[in-house]
Amino acid sequence: MPKMTAKQRREMEQQKRREKFGGKPIQEPAEKPSKHSKTRGKGQSAPTNPPVKKEKLSLERETQVDKIRTDSFVLRVEVLSALHLGSGQADVNVDAEVIHDAYGLPYFPAKRLKGLLYESALEVVEMLSCCGEPFFSRKDVDELFQHGCTSRTQLVMTNLYLEGYEKIMEEWAYLQKAYGTFFQPGDVLGQYTSLRYQTRIDRETGTAADTSLHNMRVLEPGIEFCGEIHLRHGSLRHMKLLAMALRNLRYAGLKRNRGFGKIDCQMVQDNKDIRYVLVKEALKEGGVL
């Protein structure tokens, strides 16, 4: 029998493989797998791309105006950038402290939040006036916040605390009572905050000015405060004004013009954010949409 060449042997092997698999063409691997590559076991499917994170369903579609109550809602404030809510206190380690309770848990003071909300409502009125659509007036804002006048409508605000504050407070209170040496209010506060250091540059020398180094404590992004807001003798119009003021409220605390204190506010009823639909309805009534 004549000796076969290497090419003839390869052709014969391919013919045998085709006969074995029923005459179907055999697809050769495009590239030999590396010894470091992982092989899949029997029954395992090929890896797929990671699932795309779905965007939150627009709560505007789930909420109807006629189902919105005008007596109360839960206000949620999410911290989006470093936030300094000053307490006016300082010590040898911290030049500007944030406000917190006796256990070291930070909170958002109601009086300060109400002042920010009032200023935001005034800005809304000014912007609408500049657009030629003043469907809210300065009088509406003053009556809602009882600023310089008295009205039947009353906006009652309370301090905003961390989500699940009651349980968190009880746990820290127990630890501080049982193990006071290891758990102090300052240790608790450090779990939610960090220190930021700043200095002033001497324009003549281009270096840090003497005795200009100072620090301040800030709340970390991701923290959420919440609390119930009551509106006595209010109407849907008052709720719309509040919604627009909360939509416009973007910053709080110190150094707002330097990127600090960015926040996002939500008006929650029945686990739905009613702020968007209220703003949309207000703009429709005003002829903006």
pLDDT of residue 91: 79
pLDDT of residue 132: 79
pLDDT of residue 62: 53
pLDDT of residue 2: 57
Tokens at 257, concatenated: 């013009």
167: phi then psi, degrees, rounded to nearest 5: -70, -45
Tallying the residues shown for the chain, one arrives at: 289
Q: Compute mean pLDDT per 10 residues along the chain, 289 residues long, and list them.
A: 63 64 47 44 42 42 76 95 89 86 95 95 92 86 89 92 93 91 89 87 79 87 95 93 95 88 94 92 78
DSSP lists the bridge partners of residue 225 as 77, 162
Give tens-digit pLDDT for 117-145. 999 999 999 998 888 778 899 999 999 99
- Check if the beta carbon of residue 135 is closer than 8 Å to that of residue 286: yes
Q: Please choose, from the candidates 222, 62, 240, the residue with its C-alpha nearest in 3D space to the C-alpha of residue 140.
A: 240
pLDDT of residue 7: 63
pLDDT of residue 93: 82
Sheet strands (E) in 157-192: 161-162
Give tens-digit pLDDT for 270-281. 999 999 999 999
Q: Give the C-alpha separation, 133 to 280, whole Å.
A: 14
pLDDT of residue 46: 41
